[in-house]
């Protein structure tokens, strides 16, 4: 099953939007929860006195039933596979590093239209020139 969760306090299991996570962040007590991706395009998340002001969303899978996870603190939503994939694609498009880069729909990765030289030197992408530029160490 596809699931959206947020952080909870690792001891109290209370959601990060209700009180500070004094015992550190964790995830809801969902059996076999595997996080696949998160909505990093909306980060960083603001806090006030340790309480998250927005909900960081983590998308993953689990093999629990809907009845066993519904209502658990930190469980945001149960979604279908098509919604999971659509939101993942939207998230990765929001992270697009440069307009010229190409998205690989199969692996959900971005790559430059020109491969970076593999000569052991450091390079940065120059969008205006549409090429890699060697970083000069001073």
* DSSP one-letter string for 9-59: ETTT--BTTTS--TT-EE----TT-EEEEE-GGGPSPPEETTEESS---EE
Using 70 as the pLDDT threshold, list the residues of the chain that sit under it.
none
Is 0.95 topped by the overall pTM? no
Instruction: Indicate the SS3 state at residue 84.
Output: helix
pLDDT given for residue 30 in this prediction: 92
The predicted-structure confidence for 99-109, as pLDDT tens digits, reads as follows: 999 999 999 99
pLDDT for 116: 97
Reduced to 3 states (helix: H, G, I; strand: E, B; else coil), residue 91 is: helix
């Amino acid at each position: 099953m596809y699931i959206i969760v947020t952080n909870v306090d690792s001891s109290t299991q209370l959601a990060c939007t209700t009180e500070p996570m004094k015992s550190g962040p964790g995830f809801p007590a969902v059996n076999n929860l595997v996080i696949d991706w998160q909505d990093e395009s909306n980060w960083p998340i603001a806090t006030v006195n340790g309480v998250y002001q927005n909900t960081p969303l983590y998308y993953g899978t689990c093999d629990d039933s809907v009845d066993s996870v519904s209502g658990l603190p930190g469980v945001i939503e149960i979604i279908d596979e098509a919604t999971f994939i659509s939101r993942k694609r939207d998230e990765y498009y929001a992270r697009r590093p440069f307009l010229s880069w190409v998205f690989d729909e199969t692996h959900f990765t971005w790559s430059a239209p020109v491969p970076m030289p593999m000569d052991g030197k450091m390079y940065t992408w120059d969008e205006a020139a549409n090429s890699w530029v060697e970083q000069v160490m001073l």
